[in-house]
Amino acid sequence: MSARSRKNEPRARRRKQEKPVLPPAMLAVGALVIVVIAAMVFLANNPPGSVGEIEGVIVIPDLSRGHTLEPVTYEQVPPAGGPHNPVWQNCGVYTSPIPNENAVHSLEHGVVWITYDPDLPADQVERLQQITRRSGYRLLSPYPDLPSPIVATAWGFQLHLDSADDPRLDDFIRKYEQGPTTPEPGAVCTGGVGSPA
């Protein structure tokens, strides 16, 4: 072994023995960065107020969006989209049935249309009225011959309910009112036809 190698030997041995140690503050900062990144990824995929799958939601795909002045025969009761009147229904509470064609135009604007059997008990109707009045993008109207006591409808989606107290109604509204599937989000729900109560 050369003199130079022997001279450098203690320094090399010291380097091997000295393990780099991160100060606790740096470890804490690193952990915080990881938590923040994980939270950002989670929120990007689950925005506040977002709702996952809702049991019982019916999906109605491939709905046309054309305007017509003619009456339309819809496949769903009530309709969940399709051809509609060029003028939308003003949002709010109605105590009489409203025209399908105008209500469908409102759905296109991101409205949730809550329909109920005209024989629904008064306390249930009152609860639906309260729910409807919480937002400017909701319609409520009685609807004869519904397949269930209450039907919540958004463009391309429906949920049949037995009670206004079913928590799925609030979930449906949070998910689909002005939701990502809305054809014309942010379009107005005033200045159309109808005089809500």
Model pLDDT for residues 171-184, shown as the tens digit of each residue: 999 999 998 889 99
Q: What percent of the chain shows pLDDT beyond 70?
A: 74
Residues 156 and 107: their CA atoms lie apart, in Å, by: 9
> Are 91 and 144 contained in the same domain?
yes
Assess if residue 170 is contained within a domain. yes
Q: Are residues 129 and 150 in the same domain?
A: yes
Look at residue 186 and tell me if it is in a domain: no
Is 141 in the same domain as 162?
A: yes
Q: Tokens for 156, please give them.
A: 């391309």
Q: Do residues 87 and 165 both lie within one domain? A: yes
Residue 31 lies in a domain: yes
Considering its fold, how many domains does the chain have in total? 2
Domain range enclosing 136: 58-176
In this prediction the pTM is 0.74
| Per-residue pLDDT tens over the stretch 63-74 | 999 999 999 999
Q: Are residues 15 and 78 in the same domain?
A: no
Contacts of 56 (CB under 8 A, 6+ apart): 159, 160, 168
The confidence score (pLDDT) of residue 168 equals 97
- What is the domain-level CATH number for residue 116? 3.40.30
Claim to verify: residue 81 and residue 170 sit in the same structural domain: yes
What is the per-residue pLDDT for 124?
A: 98
Residues 125 and 103 in one domain: yes
Model confidence band, residue 13 (pLDDT cutoffs 50, 70, 90) = low
